[in-house]
Amino acid sequence: MTDQGTIWLTQEAYDKLQAELDDLRGPRRQEIIEKIAAARDEGDLKENSGYHAAKDQQGQQEARVRQLEDMLRRAEVGETPADDGVVEPGMVVTVDFGDGDHEKFLLGARENLMEGDDLDVYSPESAMGAAINGRTKGDEVSYTTPNGKQLSVTIVDAEPYKG
């Protein structure tokens, strides 16, 4: 994963990611090693689907380990922001696209969402996230989308994410 900016995480989200990383580095890594060894003992590796499946699983798992390591290295752990109407990471923001079409999302990292919460997430580094970060309710903000389109939104609401 490429190095990006700092990501904001609650202590709970940070701890959850650290626990996942510890599990992947420890027990889960050992399970995969054992699966690969058992499949290797079955003989010809060219046509051994169990071996290839275990190697694929190992590759996916190691990619997740690298992703978690990068996220935790870049993480800024903090508490839920103040309920002051200022848009910042950790806030649930509602914007109006000017046609009455509203969108509600979390500004921050997907890892901060509680399980089962289907709220959309925008990174503070995204085009809209960067444009609205630090702004307040009622502000109209223009930004350029990745495809070059110019959009304007009005910040309708910004409240701390409570999970």
Task: Please state which architecture CATH assigns to domain 91-160.
Answer: Roll (3.10)
Backbone φ and ψ of 59, nearest 5°: -65, -45
For residues 101 and 103, give the distance between their C-alpha atoms in angstroms, rounded to a whole number. Answer: 7
Q: Which residues of 121-134 are buried (b: 16+ CB within 10 A; e: fewer)?
A: bbbbebbbbebbbe
Is domain 7-77 given the CATH code 1.10.287.180 in the classification?
Answer: yes
Q: Where are the domains of the chain?
A: 7-77, 91-160
- Longest CA–CA span in the chain (Å) reads 68
For residues 99 and 85, give the distance between their C-alpha atoms in angstroms, rounded to a whole number. Answer: 22
What pLDDT was estimated at residue 163? 65
| Rounded (10°) CA dihedral 16, 22, 28, 30 | -170
> pLDDT averaged over consecutive 10-residue blocks of the chain (163 residues)?
63 88 95 89 79 91 94 82 86 91 89 80 91 95 94 94 76
Question: How many Cβ atoms sit within 10 Å of the Cβ of residue 77?
Answer: 13
What pLDDT was estimated at residue 158? 94
Instruction: Decide the pairing of beta strands 140-144 and 120-122.
Output: unpaired
Backbone φ and ψ of 25, nearest 5°: -75, -30
Instruction: Decide the pairing of beta strands 91-96 and 150-160.
Output: antiparallel
